[in-house]
Amino acid sequence: MFETDTQRGGQFKIHWEDFYLDFSKNHLSSETCELLSQLAQECELPTAIKQYFEGQRINVTENRAVLHTALRADKSKSVLFDNENVVPEVHNVLEKIDQFCLSVISGDAKGATGKTFTDVVNIGIGGSDLGPVMVTEALEHYRNHLGLHFISNVDGDHVQEILKKVNPETTLFVVVSKSFTTQETLANATTAKKWLTDVLGEKAVAAHFVAVSTNLSMINTFGIDPDNVFPMNDWVGGRFSLWSAVGLTIALGIGPKNFRSLLEGAQKMDDHFAQTPLSENIPVVLALITIWYNNFYGAESEAIIPYTQYLHRLPAYLQQGIMESNGKSIDRNGKPVDYQTGNLIWGEPGTNAQHAFFQLIHQGTKTIPAHFIGFKKSLFGNDDHHQKLMANFFAQTEALMQGKSETAVRQEGVNENLVPFKVFEGNNPTTTLLIDKLNPESLGKLIAMYEHKIFVEGIVWNIYSYDQWGVELGKQLANTILEELQNNSKGQHDSSTNGLLRHFNAG
């Protein structure tokens, strides 16, 4: 297509604010784009977008609205949920976050022995962990003096490795759990509380523990002071919640002003998504490209390759966002789908990825559409390194597309029996997002872009993107087995599980 149309690069691109999206290196003609837009229209995407932003209960299977967009709405806006404007309450919580963070960062807030806080330990899992981890890593350049730590896994070794790094007198624990019933988080918070009170006594909990949740009564039972609770609403899904009080650790680490910029970036992407025609709408175009490969090319996965070390947790964060949302096989009528839905998400930062799994993308047998995300400027301004990094960024998408023909290999004088091994078929699809600079605002835009992409895919695939029933069965069975392990009793299992349990119990 590039050979027959030299202007192609300029045609399949969207330049919006500091985002330059080039989707020309995909197997798309203008007609394909037109037909995909028609598909979205047929699926009534514009109406669905309206319902999403208006706070209708589009999470039907949980009878909830999906209003993470309200969390970054400007104070002047009104978002009605059950006839009530939720924006004032969102801003009340944001102001509470501002004040609390400023007092911790400035040193006004003190621990039980009168010392200022040096470290923050975030205890949460899934959406109560991945968003805060990803964002605080991504914005490390904007971080203050507070040391940030994350405990998520119920693995006690993980907990101890974190606790051994911090001092009880100067550590603040942020327990984040939307439900406040998650086994991992409650176990980890209980261990951390014991570790603290063993040294500082029961009274220290009030100064050293804060919580973020919708479940205020469970927090009370756990023993956290009601003044130290940051509420969230049940219309925010865990994997979309970093904009709410779930982002408390983010606001502590980068300061409330930067946290607000993150929200503003997301808000700008919300406006772009809600107001731009489908063909120029970044999340819509990206979602339609995913659908194109997923449903028409049989592609199983999509790689996310950020060309900045700061975004090294972005693929893991998007794995939850995308796979927990769109990993569904039942449609909105309760019937099994007879087409593919959510794809596998994976990735690592370039250039490391090039030296690890790029071989398979270049010469393997699978179609792996990839997102390349890069920045025009580096944060420390080291041009020499940045040019090297970005040269790889541009070269890889070019190489994946152009490949290398037999003739080109022969012209290099390669030994004839090695020729087939050195040929690159090319035509591997990539989409490139070049952003001016990584900062809180551009990161907010980037995350919101993927959130809306998830939404569009769910509409076209006719599935419910906002529940996650698929994670429940494993949780139930784990509780049954835990009881057996604790009581040393034998339950009813298959022969494989029985054998494994016998081997485990044999010590």
Name which position in 239, 272, 371, 453 contacts ligand F6P (CB under 6 A): 239
Q: Is 490 a catalytic residue?
A: no
268 touches ligand F6P by CB under 6 A: no
CB 31 within 8 A of CB 56: no
Peptide bond between residue 351 and the one before it cis (omega within 30 degrees of 0): yes
Q: Which of 145, 165, 355, 437 is flagged as catalytic? A: 355
Residue 401's nearest CA partner among 371, 372, 430 is 430
Contact map string, positions 280 to 319, toward ligand F6P, x by CB under 6 A? ----------------------------------------
Interacting positions 133-192 with ligand F6P (CB under 6 A) = 177-179, 182, 185
The structure tokens listed for 504 are 């485990």
Min separation Cβ 63 and ligand F6P, Å = 16
Asked if 238 interacts with ligand F6P (CB under 6 A), we say yes
Task: Kindly state whether residue 127 participates in binding ligand F6P, applying the rule CB under 6 A.
Answer: yes
CA separation for the pair 263, 71 (Å, rounded): 8
CB 191 → ligand F6P: shortest distance, Å? 16
165 is catalytic: no
Q: Which is nearer to ligand F6P, 391 or 471 (CB)?
A: 471
Q: Which of 128, 354, 397, 465 binds ligand F6P (CB under 6 A)?
A: 128
Q: Are 121 and 193 in contact (CB under 8 A)?
A: no
Q: Report the C-alpha dihedral over residues 422, 1, 390, 367, rounded to 10 degrees.
A: -60
Cα–Cα distances in Å, from 241 out to 49, 121, 202, 228? 19, 18, 31, 19
**Least Cβ distance, residue 66 to ligand F6P (angstroms):** 13
The answer to whether residue 122 forms part of the interface with ligand F6P (CB under 6 A) is no
* Interface positions, 344-403, toward ligand F6P (CB under 6 A): none
* 233 touches ligand F6P (CB under 6 A): no
From candidates 66, 81, 90, 126, binder to ligand F6P by CB under 6 A: 126
With CB under 6 A as the rule, give the number of residues binding ligand F6P.
Answer: 14
Stated as kind and residue range, the H or E segment containing 183 is helix 183-200
For residue 392, what are its two tokens? 């790889």
Indicate if 355 belongs to the active site.
Answer: yes
Check binding of 125 to ligand F6P (CB under 6 A): yes
Contacting residues for 295 by C-beta, under 8 A, at least 6 apart: 339, 340
- Regarding 468 and contact with ligand F6P (CB under 6 A), the answer is yes
Residue 321 in contact with ligand F6P, rule: CB under 6 A: no
Backbone φ and ψ of 429, nearest 5°: -75, 135
DSSP structural state of residue 301: E
Name which of 186 and 370 has its Cβ closer to ligand F6P.
186
CB of 124 vs ligand F6P, minimal distance in Å: 6
CA angle, 130 as apex, 71 and 103 as ends, to 5°? 60
Q: What is the helix (H) or strand (E) element at residue 172, kind and residue range?
A: strand 171-176
Sign of CA dihedral 441, 447, 451, 456: positive
Between residues 238 and 256, which has the closer beta carbon with respect to ligand F6P? 238
Task: Encode 329-397 in three state secondary structure.
Answer: CECCCCCECCCCCCCEEECCCCCHHHHCCHHHHHHCCCCCCEEEEEECCCCCCCHHHHHHHHHHHHHHH
| Residue tagged active-site, from 366, 376, 377, 475 | 475
Site mask for ligand F6P (CB under 6 A), range 446-465, x = bound: --------------------
Q: Which helix (H) or strand (E) holds 316?
A: helix 314-318
Q: Which is nearer to ligand F6P, 35 or 471 (CB)?
A: 471
Residue 461 or 466 with smaller CB distance to ligand F6P: 466
Tell me which stretch binds ligand F6P (CB under 6 A): 4-12, 81-89, 126-134, 217-225: 126-134
Q: Which is nearer to ligand F6P, 97 or 353 (CB)?
A: 97
Interface with ligand F6P includes 219 (CB under 6 A)? no
Catalytic option among 324, 348, 451, 457: 324
Does 444 sit near ligand F6P (CB under 6 A)? no
Helix (H, G, I), strand (E, B) or coil at 80: strand
Is residue 123 within 8 A of residue 151, CB to CB? The reply is: yes
Distances (CA, A) of 46 to 51, 171, 322: 9, 48, 21
For ligand F6P, the closer of residues 233 and 431 by Cβ is 233
Rounded to a whole number of angstroms, the minimum distance from the CB of residue 466 to ligand F6P is 10
Q: Which two tokens stand for residue 305?
A: 């390759």
Residue 471 sits in the site that holds ligand F6P (CB under 6 A): yes
Q: CB 178 → ligand F6P: shortest distance, Å?
A: 4
Would you please indicate which residues are annotated as catalytic (active-site) residues?
A: 324, 355, 475
Contact positions toward ligand F6P, by CB under 6 A? 125-128, 177-179, 182, 185, 238-239, 324, 468, 471
